[in-house]
Amino acid sequence: MENKIIFALDIYDHDEAINLAKNLGDKVFAIKVNWPIILENGIKIIRELSKYSKIICDFKLADIDNTDKLITEKVNEYNAWGIIAHAFTGYKSLKAVVDSAKNTKVFSVVSMSQESYVDDITDKLIETSKKAGVYGLVAPANRPLYLKKVKELSGNLKIISPGAGSQGGDILNALLLGSDYVIIGRSIYNSDNPEKTLSDFNNSIRNSFNI
Ligand code: BMP
């Protein structure tokens, strides 16, 4: 039985983060870390957290090929399972991430949970992502038309989807439209009982999809 939620751990506090990872890490598909936790605690926290779950580094790489490569190599060293890059920087940068990621899975952002200029070029971003050889795409849970479009063009790439819960999207709807995993942060870590909240989400997914 596969877990379908990726937990976005966007908090600063080290002990709270480790505690949440200890309690929830084996009940989610992965934990996603972004700049807030890294800026407060340093990159070493990736290795610490990786004891409890797969870790996806959501650094949204968006630079020239060499800089993206240097960051990806550093992330590899600390035992990350996945890394997220923007696709709008184009083939050369994205390919540099894929090549330097080795066994780390690369996800590229092709559509966002808020309106952005990326909306005008989603098709091209998917095409470039496929050409570069990414493992998966990021597409929004709260914007069904965009998610549906990404699903139609994604081939066999995995889709991970932010925007459910606090940003208004619905987990079950996103999974129905083709998300493989739904990213949830605030609705879990800001709730009174994160373990129970996650367990309720997991139960409703299991009951709805018979998994
Ligand atoms: P929350 O469930 O608290 O809204 O968190 C969503 C997470 O997904 C955040 O880490 C955010 O940076 C990320 N995200 C997003 O919300 N929209 C996107 O388009 C891409 C993201 O990575």
Strands (E), 128-194: 136-138, 158-161, 181-184
Range 106-130 average pLDDT: 98
Counting Cβ atoms within 10 Å, is residue 72 exposed (0-12), middle (13-18) or buried (19+)? Answer: buried
> Which residue puts its alpha carbon closest to atom 14 of ligand 1?
162
To the query of whether residue 105 is one of the catalytic residues in this protein, the response is: no
Query: What CATH number is associated with residue 68?
Result: 3.20.20.70
Taken as a whole, the chain contains a residue count of 211
Among candidate residues 101, 112, 161, the one with its CA nearest the CA of residue 134: 101
Count up the domains in the chain and report the number.
1
Question: In this predicted structure, what is the pLDDT of residue 57?
Answer: 98
Tell me, in angstroms, the distance from the centre of ligand 1 to residue 57's CA: 12
Portion of the chain with pLDDT greater than 70, in percent? 100
Q: Is the pLDDT of residue 140 over 90?
A: yes
Q: What pLDDT score does 211 carry?
A: 74
The closest residue, in CA terms, to atom 8 on ligand 1 is: 162
d(CA 110, ligand 1 centre) in Å: 13
Ligand 1 atom nearest 111 alpha carbon: 19
Beta strand extents in 62-211 (DSSP E only): 82-86, 105-109, 136-138, 158-161, 181-184
Tell me what pLDDT residue 1 has: 67
> Structure pTM?
0.98
Residue 33 near residue 55, CB atoms below 8 Å: yes
Range of the domain at 74: 5-209
Three-state secondary structure call for residue 190: coil
Residue bearing the CA closest to ligand 1, atom 10: 8
Q: Which two tokens stand for residue 89?
A: 């920087």
- Tens of pLDDT, residue by residue over 50-79, are 999 999 999 999 999 999 999 999 999 999
Q: Which of 117, 183, 186, 188 to probe ligand 1 with, by most ligand atoms within 8 A of CB?
A: 183
pLDDT score at 210? 80
Question: In Å, how far are 25, 134, 147, 174 from 150, measured between CA atoms?
Answer: 28, 14, 5, 12
